[in-house]
A and B are shown apart, each in its own frame.
Chain A
Amino acid sequence: MAATTVPGRTAAPRASRAGAVVPTAILLLGALYCLLPVSWVVVAATKSKAELFSTSTFVPGTGLLSNIADLAAYRDGVFWLWLANTVLYAGGGALLSTAVSTVSGYALAKYAFPGRNLIFTVLIGGVLVPAVVLAIPQYLLFSSFGLADTYWSVLLPQILSPYGVYLARIYAAAAVPDALLEAARIDGAGHWLLMRKVALPLMLPGMVTIFLFQFTAIWNNFLLPFIMLGDDAKFPLTVGLYTLLAAGANQPALYNLIITGTLISLVPLVALFLTMQRHWRTDLAGGALKS
């Protein structure tokens, strides 16, 4: 028996040839649905103003470079500023968020202490609070300290990530063996050293996952910067593109700028996503599902 029943997911027995067609077709339809708008924007961004409305939808045009040049010239290159701001918010915020989540998750997974479950529930419960409930008072509080419409007002509220803490706890529980901590502790390592030298290296793959999720979440966030910021030199791409749309919706002449801007705003995240696939897939809440 052991020799013949190879695990089902590698073996494709006889029946599969016929049986594979329908599932494969369904998945390919799903893939097509998901790729359609992205491929549309790639093609549309290559079209000049005239081509956008005249040529057939999926025929590439000749205007990509002039579209990019137009976008770069729009309001003295404010678009590049939006891109740089987004990198700053998402990169800085995700780094800090990963650090806070990892340390918290490690403490929650590997220490028993009074209030552990309460603290965990409270931190995780943060995910339930609607963003607007927070965003308005956050705006008022920041503005009473003179910090509204600053980089801080977008950066600071996005450091604490309930989902990050949740993933870190799961990951620490799965990846850091108690026996190893115990051994290091008997050798005289203190709490700080235990975490830094024993736990953190083991948690590194999990940290990459948390970083990626938070980076994406901040990159994609619209509401918080929309509420906090008034000065368009501090906008991230999402708010910038929205203002571009709000200004250009009734002027088809501006559509090229919006389409090209949308395309460029996708490139960094899609690149990150395609290169870091291993971390998106395997580590995602992996521990949670094994328990």
Chain B
Amino acid sequence: MSARPAALSAPERLPEPAPRRRRAPARERRATAAPYLFLAPAMLLFTLFLAVPIGYTVYLSVRGTKVSGLGLGKGARREIFTGLDNYTAAIGDGELWAGWLRVLGYGLLVLAVMLTLALLFALLLDSARVRLARFSRVAIFLPYAVPGVAATLLWGFLYLPSLSPIRQVLDVDLLGTGTVMVSMANIAVWGGVGFNMLVLYTALRAVPSSYYEAARIDGASEVQIALRIKVPILLPAIILTTVFSIIATVQVFTEPTALRPLTNTISSTWSPLMKVYRDAFVTGDLYSAAATSIVIAVISLVLSFGFLRVVRDRAYGEG
């Protein structure tokens, strides 16, 4: 049916049917509406909940109002076209830049620590020498099942001076101005390391061990095999996990929002998305919130697009 044979050799489940042809000849693949019908629900949802909202955001971002009202709902009474004013305001907004700087520091910390740990754990799990591997694997993946809000509450209480067992060992204010970013990054690393480890570990398990045998016979150590053979094989999976992590990090919202009630070191505009939320729903300035959203989207896209291209080229050989 497919234009090309499926890129992945599926396990042969059935006796080979009589015709020995490997693929359907072109003449049998007549144009049909079937794939479009199968894709219709997804495309409809895409249109309603992605395309239209994005279009609406772009529309709002070039509008403005002179009288500050609630602005919610259909009330477009005093709405005017303002061109790129909202964008210039967003780009010149020092508060937003401060937010970007915080998220940049936070993001680099999270990405570096989380992905390094995930790769290390995956390689160790795959190395055959480890005891209690199953227990460790399940335990490290467990935080994935913990909602971000719950994770933030858990760690938040562990950071609180009155409850913290950490504070009994380490005399630092974990929610202070200097440390709150590290504390927050810790929550994200804790929640994400297991998922990324699992993606990488699954990738390693799919590699036939014959790949490593030649190297072993040649006397390569496990560390050499890990660095020279396994890491290159993992590259597409590493890129994939990096893209998903970048996207999640740029959008950080839940952790700082849920941590705020416990400390006064997190402002209501700590991350760019928190500022968007405040503009839209607290101060009611939808137009500047829309423009800021678009700026965030563009930055996300620029950061991820290169990665995604590589992922598409390397991971979906059939595409």
Which chain A residues have a beta carbon within 8 Å of chain B's beta carbons? 5, 7-12, 16, 19-20, 23-24, 26-28, 30-35, 37-38, 40-41, 44, 52-53, 57-58, 99-101, 103-104, 106-113, 116-117, 119-134, 136-138, 140-141, 143-144, 156-157, 159-160, 165, 169-170, 173-183, 185, 191-192, 195, 202, 216, 219-220, 222-223, 226-227, 237-239, 241-242, 245-246, 249, 252, 255, 258-259, 262, 265-266, 269-270, 272-274, 277, 280-282, 284-291
Shortest Cβ distance from B50 into A: residue = A126
Interface of B is mostly: helix
| B132 x A28 contact (CB < 8 A) | yes
Among candidates A30, A216, A239, residue contacting B144 with C-beta atoms closer than 8 Å: A216
* Chain B: minimal CB distance from A245 (Å): 5
Interface CB pairs A-B, < 8 A, 30: A11-B128, A23-B127, A27-B130, A30-B140, A37-B151, A40-B165, A53-B163, A111-B32, A130-B296, A133-B293, A133-B294, A136-B289, A137-B54, A137-B57, A138-B49, A141-B56, A156-B45, A173-B6, A173-B8, A174-B6, A177-B13, A178-B1, A180-B17, A219-B147, A222-B254, A241-B150, A249-B262, A259-B157, A269-B147, A281-B202
Which of A34, A41, A117, A245 meets B142, CB within 8 Å?
A34
- What is the distance, in angstroms, from A175's C-beta to the closest C-beta of chain B? 6
Contact across chains for A109 and B2 when beta carbons are under 8 A apart: yes
The verdict on A289 contacting B237 (CB below 8 Å), with A27-B133, A180-B14 known, is yes
The reply on B100 being an interface residue by CB < 8 A is no
Residue pair A183, B17 in contact (C-beta under 8 Å): yes
**Range of interface residues on B (Cβ < 8 Å):** 35 or more
Measured between beta carbons, the chain A residues less than 8 angstroms from B124 are 23, 26-27
Name the distance in Å between B222's Cβ and chain A's nearest Cβ. Answer: 7
B213 interface residue, CB < 8 Å from A? yes
B304 within 8 A of A: yes
Contact code string B11-27 (vs A, CB < 8 Å = 1, else 0)? 01110110100011000
Q: What's the nearest-Cβ distance from chain A to residue B21, in Å?
A: 8
**Complex contact A132–B251 (CB within 8 A):** yes
Please tell me if the beta carbons of A30 and B150 are within 8 angstroms of each other in the complex: no
Q: Which residues of B contact A269 (CB under 8 A)?
A: 145-147
Given A12-B129, A245-B258, the answer on whether A130 and B147 have CB atoms closer than 8 Å is no
Tell whether, in the assembled complex, residue A285 and residue B202 are in contact, meaning their CB atoms are under 8 Å apart. yes
Q: When A and B form their complex, which 10 residue pairs have the shortest distance between CB atoms, in order from nearest?
A: A112-B3, A31-B139, A249-B261, A107-B38, A191-B34, A137-B53, A111-B35, A7-B209, A27-B136, A289-B203
A182, B17: Cβ atoms closer than 8 Å:
yes
Task: Give the Cβ gap from A4 to chain B, nearest Cβ, in Å.
Answer: 10
Give every chain A residue within 8 A of B1 (Cβ-Cβ): 110-112, 178, 181-182, 185
Chain B residues with CB under 8 A of A165: 42
Instruction: Name A34's contact: one of B125, B133, B140, B150 (CB within 8 Å).
Output: B140
> Which chain B residue has the least Cβ–Cβ distance from A181?
B1
